[in-house]
Amino acid sequence: MNGGGQTGLGRLVGDMAPGRYEAYEQLLTALHDGRVWMLLWQGRPGAPDAQYGGMEVAGLGYAPCVTGEAELGRSGWTRAHEAISGRDIAAALYPDRWGLWLDPHAPGGGVGIPWLDLRRVAGGLTSLPAGPLRISEPSVDVQQFYALLGQNAHRTPAVRTLSRAWVQPALGEPYLAIGLDLYDTGDQSVTSARRMMQDSVAAVPSGLPVSSVALADDYDPVAMWMRANARPFFDRGAFGGGPAAPPSGYGYPPAPGWNPGAAPASY
């Protein structure tokens, strides 16, 4: 890295603007492949009392960092810092629902990455849909699929309930999501539920993407929405259909992925 220049990640921070989702995905890729300099509020790197700085924006917590040594100098930070890979810091922050704020000292306030996107960075960007997600009750007519899925669920003792949602990612095609509520998450139960889905997708119309999500996943935004808004269409004890829920960007701040307006709080 050149002593006075920006890293690739730092240059991408300056390119962010609301609605530029493709550029935001490039930023997440650069974070996944690169590293950041975390600002320590107290302690030294590796010390038992080491603690990252914290800031709050739109009611959500973020840990501030800078994107390179040059940015560290520009920030005026005089306490200790720690260089760490983007994947590692993402994996450390998202389970506690903390986001990461890149270069808060920069003109415009830098870029905030919500914890839901850190989960994608930690787990692989291509394995999870790009947020923010618009989630609603499905309007597609696939009653044959639901009927076959319900029949197969009856024959799959591991399944307690099934829910559904229509998911529109920020990038990519919308898809029908099926929420699986299992009595346990052991290998045998998960395998039987996967087989149930495979045996049912033959009834899905051509061209309609279908995905499944574990309702026990406390960090998946689709599972979170289903638990809060969707009534199961299959229940081992009863059947029911819930009222349509309004579209939602569930789990994300009002302006995800960048400075929502005012400069972030000091750290």
CATH number at residue 218: 3.30.70
Of 127, 132, 138, 109, which Cα lies nearest the Cα of 21? 132
Average per-residue pLDDT for the chain: 87
Residues 182 and 223 reside in one and the same domain:
yes
Per-residue pLDDT band for 240 (boundaries 50, 70, 90) equals very low
Please tell me which residue, 63 or 47, carries the higher pLDDT value. Answer: 63
Residues 76 and 147 reside in one and the same domain:
no
Query: Residue 138 domain-assigned?
Result: yes
Domain that holds residue 119: 8-127
Per-residue pLDDT band for 221 (boundaries 50, 70, 90) equals very high
Residue that the structure tokens 């603007």 belong to: 17
C-alpha to C-alpha distance for 169 and 120, rounded to whole angstroms: 13
Query: Residue 259 domain-assigned?
Result: no
Residue 245 has pLDDT above 50, yes or no: no
Among 60, 92, 127, residue at a domain's last position = 127
What's the domain count of the chain? 2
Among 106, 127, 148, residue at a domain's last position = 127
Strands 60-66, 81-85: pairing is unpaired
Residue 116 has pLDDT above 90, yes or no: yes
Cβ atoms of 25 and 130 closer than 8 Å: yes
Per-residue pLDDT band for 2 (boundaries 50, 70, 90) equals very low
Please report the pLDDT score of residue 15 as a whole number. 86
Residue 3 has pLDDT above 50, yes or no: no
Residue 133 has pLDDT above 50, yes or no: yes
Among 127, 149, 167, residue at a domain's last position = 127
Rounded mean pLDDT, 129-158 = 95
Tens-digit pLDDT profile for residues 91-104: 999 999 999 999 99
User: Is the bond into 132 cis (omega within 30 degrees of 0)?
Assistant: yes
Query: Residue 76 domain-assigned?
Result: yes
Residue 226 has pLDDT above 90, yes or no: yes
Please report the pLDDT score of residue 1 as a whole number. 37
Rounded mean pLDDT, 10-18 = 89
C-alpha to C-alpha distance for 182 and 248, rounded to whole angstroms: 25
Residue 246 has pLDDT above 50, yes or no: no
Please report the pLDDT score of residue 14 as a whole number. 87
Q: 10 Å Cβ neighbour count for 98?
A: 19
Residue 264 has pLDDT above 50, yes or no: no
Residues 181 and 104 reside in one and the same domain:
no
Residues 120 and 157 reside in one and the same domain:
no
C-alpha to C-alpha distance for 9 and 24, rounded to whole angstroms: 11
Query: Residue 150 domain-assigned?
Result: yes
Query: Residue 2 domain-assigned?
Result: no
Residue 262 has pLDDT above 50, yes or no: no
Cβ atoms of 144 and 115 closer than 8 Å: no
C-alpha to C-alpha distance for 65 and 113, rounded to whole angstroms: 11
Please report the pLDDT score of residue 253 as a whole number. 52
Residue 239 has pLDDT above 90, yes or no: no
Please report the pLDDT score of residue 18 as a whole number. 86
Rounded mean pLDDT, 155-177 = 96
Per-residue pLDDT band for 237 (boundaries 50, 70, 90) equals confident
Residues 147 and 76 reside in one and the same domain:
no
C-alpha to C-alpha distance for 138 and 210, rounded to whole angstroms: 12
Residues 121 and 34 reside in one and the same domain:
yes
Cβ atoms of 23 and 12 closer than 8 Å: yes
Please report the pLDDT score of residue 8 as a whole number. 86
Please report the pLDDT score of residue 31 as a whole number. 97
Q: What is the DSSP string of 73-107?
A: HHHT--S-EEEEEHHHHHHHHGGGT-EEEE-TTSG
Please report the pLDDT score of residue 56 as a whole number. 94
Residues 122 and 205 reside in one and the same domain:
no
Cβ atoms of 119 and 219 closer than 8 Å: yes
Query: Residue 248 domain-assigned?
Result: no
Query: Residue 147 domain-assigned?
Result: yes
Q: 10 Å Cβ neighbour count for 145?
A: 21
Query: Residue 74 domain-assigned?
Result: yes
Query: Is residue 204 helix, strand or coil?
Result: coil
